[in-house]
Amino acid sequence: MTFLEAWIEFDYNPFIIFDSKGRVKSLNQEAQYLLGDTKAKEIFELAKTYANHTYGFKTTVLDLNYGSYSFYAITVGYQDENEIGIKLYKRAAKKFSHIQEYGEITNIYSILDLCISAASAGNNTIYKKEFDPTFPEIRIKIEEFIKLLNKIYQSYQNSEIVTSKLMLNIGEYIRFNNKKYPIFSLHVNGDLRDKSYESSIKEIAKEANTLIIFKDKTTILSSALVSG
């Protein structure tokens, strides 16, 4: 995988290329999640509707909602009649109530490793990690954040494989008190997610001022990145 291919693959925004008949030729990880909420044909029709009248690329600002996804813009591009590509730009599902500039400065990798190590004790689940290696030390309420992570991992305790993906949401920010903060996400995915944990996870997430989205096999945690 080239650097450009990896950049597209791990982009926070869904990216799909279709052939002339609407069949998916390639897509990144976020697009796979999106197509779990809507049909590929619907996205293909969207791409055709907003494509430039001549060859090239066109960005359009508009409000779109598919399942739990919300988008504020799309870019559609094509260079011939054989394929057409679309990128959809995600917005946060809802606003954070506030930004916490207090709490302890910590290494998020250490926190995640601690919680994964605790979750792996006494079971045969395989835990995989896909972490963006460039995160700075961040300021969080450590006790609440650990409690939240532990509860999320408990909901996957019967899975054979649990994958944790930590990433910065490229191009997404939140403004609070005239300051601009990037947003980061943790995607936890497993073959068996115990949905009975959802209500307690949501309650703890409120204490940590963190957004939670549940999908069929995935839990997505999002929060403002407040560096030290």
pLDDT digits over 186-226, tens only? 999 999 999 999 999 999 998 888 888 888 899 999 888 88
| The predicted structure's pLDDT at residue 228 | 64
Q: Identify the segments of the chain with pLDDT beneath 70.
A: 67-68, 92-103, 171, 175-177, 228
**Which residue is listed with tokens 């291919």?**
5
| The predicted structure's pLDDT at residue 97 | 55
Task: State the Cα–Cα distance between residues 74 and 50, nearest whole angstrom.
Answer: 9
**50-88: buried (b, 16+ CB within 10 Å) or exposed (e) per residue?**
ebeeeeeeeeeeeebebeebebebbbbbbeeeeebbbbb
Structural domains for the chain: 3-90 (3.30.450.20), 104-224 (3.30.565.10)
| The predicted structure's pLDDT at residue 143 | 93
| The predicted structure's pLDDT at residue 11 | 87
Q: Which pTM was predicted?
A: 0.63
| The predicted structure's pLDDT at residue 98 | 57
